[in-house]
Amino acid sequence: MGKISPFAAFADERSAHRYLEEVLWPNGTVCPYCGSKRVVRLIGNSLRTGRFKCLACQSGFSATHRTLFEDTSVPLRKWLVAVYLTRGGNARVSPQHIARVAKVSPLVAAKMLRRLQQAANLAPRVSSSSRPDILAAILVSFTQALP
């Protein structure tokens, strides 16, 4: 599996999930419930994108499990755009700008910004950088901040 550019990750849900999976599980997918690596990707049009099943404990999960991207109707690729534009909630970006680039309503954009800023307050600060892989660094810092 080759490295996915964050810009490709913005293209569609499948790429967005693959990108997050590579960032969060650099050594292979791990079940967040029992720690087993005996997991299979669920494939099928009727299933939500990025779902896995653990063969050890039978749990279903995706890379968004216990991240700020969980329990939201906003597609992951739009979240990744917002994370990138705001440098993980640390940069001042207007909801209107997020709305325009991520193609969400200004109201949704404002909610996304609030959630990102809350996560940024918990996460270790990622040093400022213009490199595209700052997205990966931010996402890792978010997961490290989880209790």
Q: Which residues bind Zn ion (CB under 5 A)?
A: 31, 33-34, 36, 54, 56-57, 59
* Distance from C-alpha of 8 to C-alpha of 10, rounded to nearest angstrom: 5
Smallest distance from the beta carbon of 28 to Zn ion, in angstroms?
14
29: which residues sit within 8 A by CB, 6+ positions away? 21, 37, 39, 41, 52
Q: Which backbone phi and psi does 41 adopt, to 5 degrees?
A: -80, 130
Q: Of the two residues 36 and 49, which places its CB atom closer to Zn ion in the complex?
A: 36
Smallest distance from the beta carbon of 4 to Zn ion, in angstroms?
25
Contact 5, 134 (CB under 8 A): no
Q: Of the two residues 36 and 141, which places its CB atom closer to Zn ion in the complex?
A: 36
Smallest distance from the beta carbon of 60 to Zn ion, in angstroms?
10
Q: Of the two residues 5 and 36, which places its CB atom closer to Zn ion in the complex?
A: 36
